[in-house]
Amino acid sequence: MIFLVFCGFNAILLSCASLAGGIGTFVNLDSVLIVAAGAVLSAVSAGHGRYRALLLGLRQVFAFSGRGEKSPETRSVFAGVSALTLAFGFCSTLQGLFAGVLLESAVPIENRLVYASFTSVYSLILVAFLFVPVITRNS
């Protein structure tokens, strides 16, 4: 059920972007791939040795039932994954801003700031709508 809410939220954002002047203004494919890779790397590093808790949380993301055991270990693993994913998105944003300053292109600084912040926005959406529900469910 958590995943359906996540998909519904993204559908709303994409439809709003489509109505506002093109879906390309919201979707930045390389930022999506960077955040996905960051989430996977975060899950591997935060769940190191605690794969049962990690798999339990992933099962909860795709489960339709709200019942089940509460696991403090799953909560701590997903809290770590959330923090690392947000940090990954923020670091990628800083790297994008740094590269934008070094390139000295004709693109205005406002546009560079928007494009660089995509990874932070995507990581925030991923954490807020996929990982935080698992944390609260196991609290």
Q: Quickly tell me which residue has 């928007």 as its tokens.
A: 114
If phi over 0 gives left and psi between -120 and 50 gives alpha, with beta otherwise, what is residue 65?
beta
**Residue 23 counted as domain residue:** no
Q: Is the pTM value of this prediction over 0.85?
A: no
**Residue 1 counted as domain residue:** no
The domain tally of the chain equals 1
In tens digits, what is the pLDDT along the chain, a chain of 139 residues?
688 888 888 788 777 777 766 666 566 677 778 888 888 888 888 777 888 888 888 888 888 777 778 899 999 999 999 999 999 889 888 888 888 788 777 778 887 888 888 888 889 999 999 999 999 999 8
**Residue 20 counted as domain residue:** no
**Residue 92 counted as domain residue:** yes
How many CB atoms are closer than 10 A to CB 133? Answer: 19
Domain span including residue 86: 28-137
119 and 89 Cβ atoms separated by less than 8 Å: yes
**Residue 111 counted as domain residue:** yes
**Residue 12 counted as domain residue:** no
CA distances from residue 135 to 12, 30, 57, 58 in whole angstroms, order as listed: 24, 28, 8, 11
